[in-house]
């Protein structure tokens, strides 16, 4: 049960990072701010989040491949959609259109960051011996 709670907390943390990712990119995706550098920000945040997911996986999940479906399935089916709908309901119409566009255009980049972070975190963590 403790392992299941860890995976669900990890999924919620990933969904919160997704909301932060969208909010920061929507803030920067306005003329006069950093519009010409938006692709660099997308890739930079993806690398940053991949490193964060790697460290979280390495230290909290460990070397357990069973965690991947227990993290990704609730993340995609429940937490990501719920948190994104809450964010869209809080934003005004023009800002929510920007958030929808960024969600569709940067979702695959964030998915790759999740896959690399989880996969490498599991591969490079030490096996936990039970005594």
The model's pTM: 0.87
Q: Dig out the tokens for 42 from the structure.
A: 């997308």
Of 27, 31, 34, 8, residue with least CA distance to 102 = 27
H helix intervals, the chain: 2-28, 38-56, 67-74, 80-90, 93-123
- Look at residue 126 in the predicted model and tell me its pLDDT: 80
Count of Cβ atoms closer than 10 Å to residue 53 Cβ: 25
Q: Using CA atoms, how far apart are residues 57 and 26, in angstroms rounded to an integer? A: 28
pLDDT of residue 34: 66
Report residues of the chain scoring pLDDT below 70.
Answer: 33-35, 128-131
Quote the CA–CA distance of 41 and 25 in Å, as a whole number: 8
Q: Per-domain residue ranges for the chain?
A: 2-123
């Amino acid at each position: 049960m403790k392992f299941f709670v860890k995976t669900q907390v990890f999924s919620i943390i990933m969904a919160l990072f997704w909301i932060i990712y969208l909010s920061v990119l929507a803030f920067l995706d306005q003329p006069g701010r950093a519009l010409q550098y938006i692709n660099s920000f997308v890739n930079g945040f993806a690398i940053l989040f991949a490193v964060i997911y790697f460290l979280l996986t390495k230290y909290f999940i460990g070397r357990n491949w069973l965690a991947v479906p227990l993290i990704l399935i609730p993340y995609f089916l429940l937490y990501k959609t719920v948190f994104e709908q809450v964010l869209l309901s809080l934003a005004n119409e023009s800002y929510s259109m920007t958030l929808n566009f960024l969600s569709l255009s940067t979702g695959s980049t964030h998915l790759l960051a999740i896959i690399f972070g989880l996969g490498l975190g599991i591969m490079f963590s030490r096996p936990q011996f039970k005594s």
